[in-house]
Amino acid sequence: MELTIGKFSSAVNTTIRTLRHYEQLELLVPGKRNEFNQKIYTRDELKRFYNIQLLKSLNLPLDEIKQRLEEPEYSFSDMLEVQEAMLLDKRDRINESLDMITRIKNLIHEAGDLTTEDLMLLMNSIRLEEDQRVILNQYFSANTVDTIMPKSKAQQSELDRLNRRLLSFFRAAIQNELTPESHEVQRELKELLERVPVVIDELSNSNQYLEQKLDIYKSLLPVDVVEFAGQAIQVFYKKGNE
């Protein structure tokens, strides 16, 4: 097999630009020329090209691929173990992102379009769930944590709806100039929190947890919402202990 760069690029379904880039990096350099002094690709280049594509599929950068192909003593079995771990981690992160997108799209389908600010906030809320679980595990039992931060799809959808309703409620309360102590605010807050079956005493005795949980959102929520929500929740817990 002896092919010019144009015919070779067509045969292996790549571009001339890519092949010239490989040659510039000394990753794939044709070793022969034809009677017209044109560089030609042989079976050796074909084999090396597919080896390059193979290693690219394992997420290796081109400079590392060049090094690996030029080091016959390099352990490809060890490399496979490392790359497998990296790709599995990447797959997990991609799956997490896809799950987040699905949950947000379902929320939009149910409640209509979200503002950019609310959209980003709710997406970050989902993205930070595992971090929140770590905090919750310091204060509550595993069953309680699973209740507050569920992992089933149906329960997660309910949590998403609850978060959106809380956000909308606090913003509306501020706009309507309600106070955190007002009957309307405390009644709505009670109704919303009762949808999370956690013992009030268990929550009200976890002041340190409350501070940490609010800290997670402090940089995401508008300052007035953070302050209003914090005051309303404190009033709610205080009343629960009276």
- For 186-220, the pLDDT digits (tens) are 888 888 777 665 544 455 555 555 555 546 556 66
Q: Which residues of the chain are modeled with pLDDT < 50?
A: 199-201, 214
State both tokens at 222: 């508008």
Q: Using CA atoms, how far apart are residues 174 and 225, in angstroms rounded to an integer?
A: 8
Domain containing 15 equals 3-74
The reply to whether 62 and 99 lie within a common domain is: no
* Angle at CA of residue 41, ends 39 and 45, nearest 5°: 130
CATH number at residue 25: 1.10.1660.10
The reply to whether 158 and 199 lie within a common domain is: yes
What pLDDT does residue 39 have? 93
Q: Using CA atoms, how far apart are residues 76 and 81, in angstroms rounded to an integer?
A: 9
Domain boundary among 74, 92, 108: 74
State both tokens at 40: 């030609």
Q: How far is CA 137 from the centre of its chain?
A: 21
What pLDDT does residue 83 have? 80
Q: State whether the Cα torsion 171-190-206-241 is positive or negative.
A: positive
Q: Using CA atoms, how far apart are residues 98 and 161, in angstroms rounded to an integer?
A: 18
- For 80-101, the pLDDT digits (tens) are 787 888 888 888 888 888 988 9
* pTM for this entry: 0.58
Only one residue has tokens 């100039």, namely: 177
Domain boundary among 26, 42, 74: 74
The reply to whether 40 and 55 lie within a common domain is: yes
- What does the buried/exposed string (b/e) look like for 159-169 if buried means 16 or more CB atoms within 10 Å of the residue's CB? bbeebbebbeb
The total domain count for the chain is 2
The reply to whether 58 and 97 lie within a common domain is: no
